[in-house]
C-alpha cells in the first residue's frame, strides 16, 4: 500500500510543479509521477525533510525539487529541439 501512496503523492507533486512552471500541459501522468518522485529525492537531498510530510515525502522540499527538475528538463529538451 505504501508504493501506491508514493505514486499518488509523486503524481500530485509533479502536477503541482508542472502547473507552477507552466509546463504541465505537455506532461502526462507518468511524467508527473517521475518528476514528483525524482523531484522529491532532489528536494529532500538539497533542503532536508522539513515541513509537512505525506507518504514519506516532505511536501515543500519535494515540490521545490520537482520544480527544479521540470525547469532543467524543459531547458535541456528546448535546447535539443532547437538544433
Considering the entire predicted model, what is its pTM?
Answer: 0.82
Which residues make Cβ contacts (< 8 Å) with residue 47, sequence separation at least 6?
A: 58, 60, 61, 64, 65
27 and 14 in contact (C-beta within 8 Å)? Answer: yes
Q: What's the chain's length in residues?
A: 83
Mean pLDDT of 47-52: 87
For residue 10, pLDDT beyond 90: no
pLDDT interval class at 79 (50, 70, 90): low
65 confidence band (pLDDT: 50, 70, 90):
very high
20 pLDDT above the threshold of 90? no
Contacts of 55 (CB under 8 A, 6+ apart): 2, 5, 6, 8, 9
Amino acid at each position: 500500500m505504501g508504493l501506491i501512496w508514493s505514486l499518488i503523492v509523486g503524481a500530485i507533486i509533479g502536477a503541482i510543479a508542472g502547473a507552477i512552471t507552466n509546463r504541465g500541459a505537455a506532461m502526462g501522468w507518468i511524467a508527473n509521477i517521475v518528476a514528483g518522485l525524482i523531484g522529491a529525492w532532489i528536494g529532500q537531498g538539497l533542503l532536508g525533510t522539513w515541513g509537512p510530510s505525506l507518504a514519506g515525502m516532505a511536501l515543500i522540499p519535494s515540490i521545490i525539487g520537482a520544480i527544479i527538475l521540470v525547469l532543467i528538463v524543459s531547458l535541456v529538451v528546448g535546447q535539443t529541439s532547437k538544433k
